[in-house]
Amino acid sequence: MKISMYQASVPTFILMLNNLSAILEKAAAHAAAKKIDPAVLVNGRLYPDMYPLSRQVQIATDNAKGCAARLASLEPPKYEDNEATFAELILRIRKTTDYLAGFKPEQIDGSEEKTVVLKFRDSSRTFTGMPYLLNYVLPNIYFHISTAYGILRHNGVEIGKNDFIGKS
């Protein structure tokens, strides 16, 4: 059986980003209940040389919207990366899931062999569609959402595996 590039991407991205949003809502409630400045959690890190929670969310959303757009031969929307509160991070996720919800299977299915070029500051990297999705984007999204989860759990937010996995 052939994999559907759409089914392996957009619904998975939306599910995981919605789970991340629910985790952030729990973190905001935790901060309020414990009288913790929310900025402490939003700027929290697992280790000093790692990105803070806010950047983990930004990278997860960038990977999701960028992948769907590139597989559909569209230019991904650009966000300012200036979110500093739970509300702003949740809004960013909602904006991303709304964007993703606009994709149709026929825009992405058949992109298994599509050439995808990612441009970085000083370099670029070329992929074909399926390895780009399965070996680059999905691991990146899971990594950054897992790291966001870890930052919050480490800081006492009462979340568990079911919050991460969500309801499919």
20: CATH? 1.20.120.450
**What pLDDT, in 10s, does the model give residues 53-84?**
999 999 999 999 999 999 999 999 999 999 99
Q: How far is 56 from 151, CA to CA, in rounded Å? A: 10
Cα atoms in the Cβ-side hemisphere of radius 13 Å centred on 90 = 12
| Residue 1 confidence (pLDDT) | 59
Its pTM stands at 0.96
Q: Look up residue 14 and give its two tokens.
A: 């939306």
- Specify the number of domains making up the chain: 1
Residues of the chain with pLDDT under 50: none
Residue 140, domain extent: 5-106+115-165
Question: Among candidates 99, 111, 123, 30, which has minimal Cα distance to 73?
Answer: 111
